A and B are shown apart, each in its own frame.
Chain A
């Protein structure tokens, strides 16, 4: 099992550009999450999904959109990147049976100039 993978690992964007971060998990987990990690702020939940075709807002959803068209994938989109979105983005997944046990991906380091 690869667990949770994230693509890409690093990206530099210019202000106003768009991009999509891909999260994939091969554990058949129902729940998936996107977090951002900033120095001194810990992890903050951006959006989450409790199943295919469903998404919900977390703590800091503004400026991001998500989609969960397939159970194994959870996409995070930035339509018009801003420097404030410079961060490390982590995806996580968990099963319905053990929702408390989140498995995290390796992260994507995004810089917006």
Chain B
């Protein structure tokens, strides 16, 4: 069965620190990859997505993610975090030709001002 692993459950950073959140999936076929963000008290919003082409994708608010097919990874990065980035981040995978999304368990990021 397909699965998505997010190894960092809780991350605490100071403002201006760099961020990298890991995401690994298990599926050998074609996948679409996503990062969603859930700010405190709000619902999930799409941060960025990868379908094909350039493996480095840029999303909103300065976030980017790199798809490394050989490592089955889609890590999220941001060079310099802000206090407003405090949120929970979810990686998700959709296998090509299906309607089902598999979400990771999420990473809670806290940015200290």
Contacts and interface: CB of A to CB of B under 8 A. Distances in A.
Partners in one complex: yes
B101 A45 contact: yes
Contacts, number: 50
A6 B97 CA distance: 28
Given A31-B99, A42-B103, A42-B104, A90 B43 contact: yes
B14 to A, nearest CB: 26
B105 interface: yes
A43 B90 contact: yes
B94 A48 contact: no
Chain B interface category by residue count: 20 to 34
A41 interface: yes
Interface string B40-53: 00111110010100
B100 A48 contact: yes
B9 interface: yes
Main secondary structure, interface of A, reads strand
Contacts of A44: 103
B67 interface: no
Interface in A67-112: 90, 92, 99-102, 104-107
A58 B100 contact: yes
Given A42-B90, A48-B100, A90 B44 contact: yes
B99 A102 contact: no
A100 B51 contact: yes
A1 B27 CA distance: 37
A40 B9 contact: yes
Given A43-B90, A43-B103, A104-B45, 5 more contacts: A33-B101, A41-B105, A42-B104, A44-B103, A58-B100
Interface of B: 4, 6, 9, 32, 34, 42-46, 49, 51, 90, 92, 94, 99-106
